[in-house]
Structure 1
Amino acid sequence: MRGHDRINACLPDEVILEIFRHLDSKVSRDACSLVCKRWLTLERLSRTTLRIGASGSPDLFVKLLARRFVNVKNIHIDERLSISLPVQLGKRRGSDQLALSSPKLQYVSEISGSEEGQVESYCLSDAGLTALAEGFSKLEKLSLIWCSNISSVGLMSLAYKCIYLKSLDLQGCYVGDQGLSAVGKCCKQLEDLNLRFCEGLTDMGLVDLALGCGKSLKSIGVAACVKITDVSLEAVGSHCKSLETLSLDSEFIHNKGVLAVAQGCPHLKVLKLQCVNVTDEALIAVGTRCLSLELLALNSFQQFTDMGLSAIGNGCKKLKNLTLSDCYFLSDKGLEAIAAGCKELAHLEVNGCHNIGTLGLESIGQSCQSLTELALLYCQRIGNSALLLVGRGCKFLQALHLVDCSNIGDEGIGSIARGCQNLKKLHIRRCYKIGNKGIVAVGENCKSLTELSLRFCDRVGDEALIAIGQGCSLKHLNVSGCHQIGDAGIIAIARGCPQLNYLDVSVLQNLGDMAMAELGEGCPLLKDIVLSHCRQITDIGLAHLVKNCTMLESCHMVYCPGITAVGVATVVSSCINIKKVMVEKWKVSQRTRRRAGSVISYLCIDL
C-alpha cells in the first residue's frame, strides 16, 4: 500500500542483513540498495568482497572504500581489468562484488610520449597499499594482480596491519625479500601464497616466510622467479609440514628441492610441476612419501620416464586428477601403472605425449571406473579401440575432449555414446575421421548432453545436428568450420534446444537467414553468438534473430558481406543487454558509434 512501509517497520537490521547475504544476483542487490537509505547502509554492511581496478589518488580512493564497506574481508585488485568507463569517487555502483574501474585505462590512449610517466599515478602504489591496510585491518584474502608499482615498503605496511591475512596473491608484483619476510613475521595465519612472476624475490624472502608462518601455510605457487632455487624448497620442506598444494614453474628447481618437499610435506595433495631439470628421482620420492596426493600435473618434462610415473601409480592410491603434457618419454607402460594403482582416477588429460598410444588408454578404460573427464590432445597413436574400452568401463564419464586425434573416428565416438550415456560435454576439434555417424549416436544416446563443440570437423553435416536437436537440450554449441552444416542443421537445433545460450556458427558458408529466423523464434535465452565469415547471412536474418533474443550480450559478425551498417544498428538498438559487438569499423555509422561506442570492437579497423 502506497505510503506504508510494512518491511522496515517489522524487520530488524539483522534479518535484512541476512537476506542481503543470500542474494547472489547483482541486479537484485542493486535494486535493494536503492529502496531507501536504511537498505543502502545495510547492503554496504553486508559486503564482504571488493573487486577493484587500478585507480588514481589511491590514498583517497581506498580510504573512501574503507569508510563505506567496513566488513570487507576479501579484496581483489587487478590492473589488467579492461574496463573503459571510470567511476567517480563520489558515486557508487552497487554489486555483490564491487567492480571499480580504472581511470588509467581511459587516459593511456590519450597521453603523448612526453607524458607517459603520468600513467604511473593511476596504478596502485605503496601509498595505496598502506591506505588499504589501515582501512581494512580485518582483511583475510588479498589479490594484487600485476600491480607493478608495489614494493616491499607497501607490503611491509600491509603485513603489520593485516595480521589476520590468510590468502595473499602477488602475481606479477615486483616486491622484494623485505616485504615477504614481514608477511612471514606478522601474518601467522597465512595459508595460501601465490608468487607467480614475482621477479624481485630471492631465496631469502621465501625462507624467512617459511620460518615465520610455515606452520599455517597450505599452498604455495612459484613461477618465473629466477632467484628462487632449491634452497627455498628445502626451507618449505623443513617448516611447512601442513603444505597441501605446490605449484612450480622454474628452470632453476632441481631434484634436491622437490625431494625436500616430498620428504617434509607428507600431507601434499596437489603437485603441479613444470621444471625441466626434475627427473625420475624426484617423482619416485613423491610416489613413496606423498601418499595423500590427489592431483598431479606434469608439464614439459623431458628427463623422466615410465619409471617415475610407475612410482606414482604404485604409491599414490588416492590420485584423482592426472595431467601429462609434452612428456615425450612416457609410454603406455607408465599409463598402465597409473591404471593399475589409481582406481579413483576421475580426470585424465594426455597432451602431446607422442609415445602414449591405444594400449595405455585401454588400461584406463578397463581399470578406472570412476573416470568422469577425459582429454586427449594431439594423441596421434590412440585409436578407436581405446575409446571402445573407455565406453565399456567408464560409465560415469561426463566430459570428453579430443583435439587433433587423427586415428579416432565414428566407431570410437559411437562406443562412447552407447556406453557413457551420462555424457554432458563433448568437445572435438580437427578430428577429421569423425563424421555424422558418430555424432548421430551421441544424439540418440546422450540425453544429458548440454555442451557440444565440433570445431573444423569437416565430415559433420546437417544429419548430425538434426539428431542432436531431437535428442539433446544443448546450452552451448560450437560448429565453427564445419562447412557441411547449413540451415537444416541449425534449424533443428533452434527447434530442439530452447535453453541454448551460446552459439558459434562462424565459417559456415551455407548458413543463411532462414536459420537466423528460427533461432530468434526458438532460442530466446541466447546470450552469445558468433557469425563471423558467414557469407549468406544478411541484415534481414539478423533482424529476425534479435527480435526475440532480447538477452543477447555479445555478437561477433566480422567478414559477413551481407551485414551492413543497418544490421549493426539493429543489434545495438534491439538488444538492451548488449556488451560487445565485433564488426568492421566501416560498418558502424556515426549514430551507432555515438549510441553504443563503448560496446563495439573492431577486428580489422582498416576494412
Structure 2
Amino acid sequence: MGYREASVEEAEDELETMSLSTEKPNPCPSPLKKKPQNWSDLWLKNHKSLKHVVFTMQLPPLSSPKDPNHKNLIPNFSKIDRTLLLSDDILLRILAKLPESQRNHNSLVCKRWLNLQGRLVRSIKVLDWGFLQSGRLTSRFPNLNRVDMLSGSMISDQKSGILLNQRGFSVHIGSHFSPTRQVLQADLLPVEVVDRGLKGLASGCPNLRKLVVIGASEWGLLNVAEECSTLQDLELHKCHDNVLRGIAACENLQVLKLVGNVEGLYNSVVSDVGLTILAQGCKRLVKLELSGCEGSFDGMKAIGQCCQMLEELTLCDHRMEGGWLAGLSYCENLKTLRVQSCKKIDTSPGPDEYLGSCPALERLHLQKCQLRDKKSVRALFMICVAVREIVFQDCWGLENDVFTLVTTCRWVKSLSIEGCSLLTTDSLESVILCWKELQSLRVVSCKNIRDRDISPALSTLFSLLIELKWRPDTKSHLPSTVLGTSMGKRGGRFFKRM
C-alpha cells in the first residue's frame, strides 16, 4: 500500500473534522468515575503542538552526511560565540572567579571581554600621564578604587641609564643630574596638569578609596574630596601647608601619609599651621604618617585633641622642634608609635612633669634612629611607659647605658633587637630580668651579645619564654659544609695577586 505525504492544509482540515464535541460540561458531574482518556484524544486536543510537529517533519535535516552538496541552514554554526547568550552580569561573575593570572589572556578573546575585564580591575598604577589625561583610563577601568599616580607624575628620561629609587617610586635621571640640586624639583609635571588629571580621575571614578599623588594643589584635592566621598586612604608627596586645606575636606579619610621634605629630591614644608588644619578637618583619622614634616608641641597637641580615633602614628625623618614629645600625651587612644630614620628624637623634651604618657600605647618601634641622646630617649620611654611591645632595629648609639633606660617600661611582653652591635649580654640580661611579664624575645645580628656570656639565670628565663629567636651572631648559622673553609672571611684571605 502506498502512502502520500500530506500537506499542512490537509492536516489542519482533518484535525477540525476529528475534533471533539464542543458541548458544555455538566455542572453536576456524576459521582461515577470518568473513563480515562486515551492517548489519541490527548494528542488531538493540542492543535498547536500537532501543527508544529507536522511542519517540522517537512523540514530537511540541518546536515546530511549522505548528501555532500547539502548545506547547513545555519552557516558556521560551530564558530558561533555561545557566550552571547549570557548577560554581562552573569559573565562578570564567571570572569571574577578566574585567577588573576588569566585575566590578561581573557581580555584578548574579544572586544566585549576586554570591556568586561576592565570593569573587574580595582587597582592600577599610572605610568603614562597621557593615558589618564585623555580620559581613556576612566573609560577603560570605570570601577577603580585604588590609583597610584606617583610614577606617572614624573618626567622621566627613558634613555638615561641612571635609575633613582626612593622608597615607593623610581625614576630615570638624565645627564642634568647634579648632587647639589633637588633632583625631582624640576622633573615633576606642572601643578596645573596634575590638578586636571585629578579632576578627570575624580569624575570618572567616584568610588575611589585610595589615592597616591605628588605635586597636587589645594584645588585638585578639593575636586577629589567633592567627587569621591568614599576616599579613605591618601598618600600625598611634596606636601605643604596650603595643600592640607584640600585634604581637610575629606571627611571620611582614615589613613593619611604626608611626605614633606625629602633631602636631595624636593623641598616642601609642613608646619604646625598645616597640622592644625589637618586635625580640624580629618577627625576620623585612624592611621597617620608624617615624613619629613616640621612642627612642634602645638601641632601634635592639635592632632591628639581633634583626631581622637587615631591609633597608629609614624614619624619618619622628622624635623620637629624641641618639646614636641609632650604633645603625644594628648593622643589618648594611640596604640602604635613608630619612629623611623630620625637623626634626633627631641632636642629639648622639657621637665618630666610636663611629659605625660599615652595610656593606651601597646607598641613602640624604633628603626634606623639615632639614640645617642640619653635625655630624649628617657623622655620617650616615660611617655611610652605602658607599652607592651618594643622593637629596636638598626639603631645607632644604642649603648648599654642608653638601653638600660628602657626599664622605665615595666609591662613589656615582647622585645625585639636587631642590628644593634653595641649592646652586650650583661646589659640585655639586666633589663629583661626586670620584666616579669616577658613572653617573647628576638635577638638578631648583635655581635657583642655572645652565647658564652649567658648566665644560668638568663638560661632559665629562656626556658620560660613562649617565643625565642636567638641569632646574635649570624656567622654561627653557616651550614656545616662550609665551616672551616674560607667562605665568610675577608676578601684578602682568598683573593691573591697573580
Does the 8 Å CA contact 2:323/2:349 hold for their aligned counterparts? Answer: no
Distance (Å, rounded) in 1 between the aligned partners of 2:102 and 2:430: 50
Equivalent AA in structure 2 for residue 17 of structure 1: L
Contact 2:146 2:211 (C-alpha < 8 Å) held by counterparts: yes
TM-score, normalised to structure 1, is: 0.53
1:151 paired to 2:226 = no
Partner-residue secondary structure (3-state), 2:79: coil
Match of 2:335 in 1: 269
Partner SS for 2:345:
coil
* Structure 1 segment 222-301 matched on structure 2, within 5 A: 222-226=290-294, 228-249=295-316, 252-254=319-321, 256-262=323-329, 264-273=330-339, 274=342, 275-277=344-346, 288-297=357-366, 299-301=369-371
SS in 2 for 1:127: helix
How far, CA to CA, are the matches of 2:233 and 2:290 in structure 1? 15
For residue 138 of structure 2, what is the aligned residue in structure 1?
66
Offset at residue 302 of structure 1 (A): 3.0
The structural deviation recorded for 1:218 is 1.3
- 1:110/1:385 CA distance change after superposition, 3 Å: closer
Q: Structure 2 length normalisation: TM-score? A: 0.63
> 1:51-130 to 2 correspondence within 5 Å?
51-53=125-127, 55-56=129-130, 59-60=133-134, 63-79=135-151, 109=174, 125-130=194-199
Residue 183 of structure 1 deviates from its aligned partner by: 1.6
User: What's 1:188 paired with?
Assistant: 251
Per-residue deviation, 1:293: 1.9
Distance in 1, matches of 2:89 and 2:355, equals: 50
Deviation at 1:51, TM superposition (A): 0.9
3-state DSSP of counterpart to 1:178: coil
Aligned-residue identity in percent: 19
- Is the CA contact 1:229–1:253 (under 8 Å) kept in the aligned structure 2? yes
- Secondary structure of 1:67 counterpart: helix
What letter corresponds to residue 190 of structure 1 in structure 2?
L
Partners of 2:437 and 2:97 lie apart in 1 by 39
Three-state SS of the structure 1 residue aligned to 2:197 is: helix
- The alignment status of 1:348 with 2:422, answered yes or no, reads no
Instruction: Return the offset for 1:47.
Output: 1.1
Amino acid aligned to 2:260: F
Aligned to 1:95: none
Instruction: State the alpha-carbon separation in 1 of the partners of residues 352 and 314 from structure 2.
Output: 14
Could you say what secondary structure the match of 2:147 adopts?
strand
Residue 302 of structure 1 aligns with which residue? 372
In 2, Cα distance between the equivalents of 1:272 and 1:396?
23
- Aligned-pair RMSD on alpha carbons? 4.7
Q: SS at 2:242's partner residue?
A: helix
Structure 1 SS opposite 2:149 = strand
For the 8 Å contact 1:13–1:42, the answer to whether it is kept is: yes
Matches within 5 A, 1:380-391: 380-386=448-454
- In the alignment, residue 113 of structure 2 is paired with which amino acid? W
Question: What secondary structure, in the 3-state scheme, does the structure 2 residue paired with 1:42 have?
Answer: helix
Match of 1:333 in 2: 404
The 5-angstrom pairing of residues 435-450 of structure 1 reads: 439-440=479-480
Counterpart in the other structure of 1:164: 230
In the superposition, relative to structure 1, how do residues 77 and 359 fare at CA in structure 2: closer, same or farther (>3 Å)? same
CA contact (8 A) 2:328 2:357 kept: no
Q: Which has the higher contact order (CA 8 A, sep 6+)?
A: 2
Matched AA of 1:46: L
Where 1:125 maps in the other structure, the secondary structure is: helix
1:19–1:232: structure 2 CA closer, same or farther, 3 Å change rule?
farther
Task: Give the distance between the partners of 2:317 and 2:422, measured in 1 at CA.
Answer: 24
Distance 1:143 1:21, change over 3 A: farther
2:107 to 14, 30, 33: 33
The verdict on how the C-alpha distance between 1:310 and 1:231 changes in structure 2, with shifts beyond 3 A counting, is closer
| Per-residue deviation, residues 219-252 of structure 1 (Å, max 9, x unmatched) | 22222224x3332112101101111111224564
- What corresponds to 2:287 in structure 1? 219
Listed one character per residue, the Cα deviations across residues 310-358 of structure 1 (whole Å, up to 9, x for unaligned) are 6478522x436555722445456345665x6222x1x612443625534
Q: Which amino acid aligns with 2:79?
A: G
| Counterpart-to-counterpart distance in 2, 1:350 and 1:249 | 19
**What amino acid does structure 1 have at the position aligned with 2:420?**
G
Alpha-carbon displacement from aligned partner over 1:490-530 (angstroms, at most 9, x marks no partner) = xxxxxxxxxxxxxxxxx8999xxxxxxxxxxxxxxxxxxxx
Instruction: Find the aligned partners of 1:323 and 1:265 in 2 and give their Cα distance.
Output: 25
**Cα distance between partner residues in 2 of 1:8 and 1:268:** 55
Q: Is the 8 A contact 1:278 1:304 kept in 2?
A: no
Matched, 1:3 2:116: no
Q: Structure 2 counterpart of 1:39, which letter?
A: W
Map of 2:488 onto structure 1 = 482
Deviations 1:6-43, CA, capped at 9 Å, x for gaps: 66646x54454345445554x31112222333322221
Q: Distance in 1 between matches of 2:186 and 2:278?
A: 35
Gaps of 5+ in 1: 87-100, 403-407, 409-427, 444-457, 463-480, 485-506, 511-532, 536-607
Matched, 1:375 2:444: yes
Structure 1 residue aligned with 2:34: none
Alignment of 1:530-541 (within 5 A): none
* Cα distance in structure 1, aligned partners of 2:129 and 2:390: 42
State whether residues 435 and 461 of structure 1, in contact with CA within 8 Å, keep that contact through their aligned partners in structure 2. Answer: no
Change (3 A) 1:361 1:17: farther
Q: Work out whether residues 374 and 402 of structure 2, in 8 Å CA contact, stay in contact via their aligned partners in 1.
A: no
Whether the 8 Å CA contact 1:49–1:72 is kept in 2: the answer is yes
Q: What is the one-letter code of the residue matched to 1:194?
A: K
For the structure 1 residues 208 and 119, does the alpha-carbon distance in structure 2 shift closer, same or farther, using more than 3 Å as the test?
Answer: closer
Larger Rg: 2
SS of structure 2 residue aligned to 1:315: coil
Q: Superposition pairs for residues 584-599 of structure 1, below 5 Å? A: none
CA distance in 2, matches of 1:8, 1:283: 74
Partner SS state of residue 34, structure 1: coil
Give 1:210 deviation, angstroms. 0.7
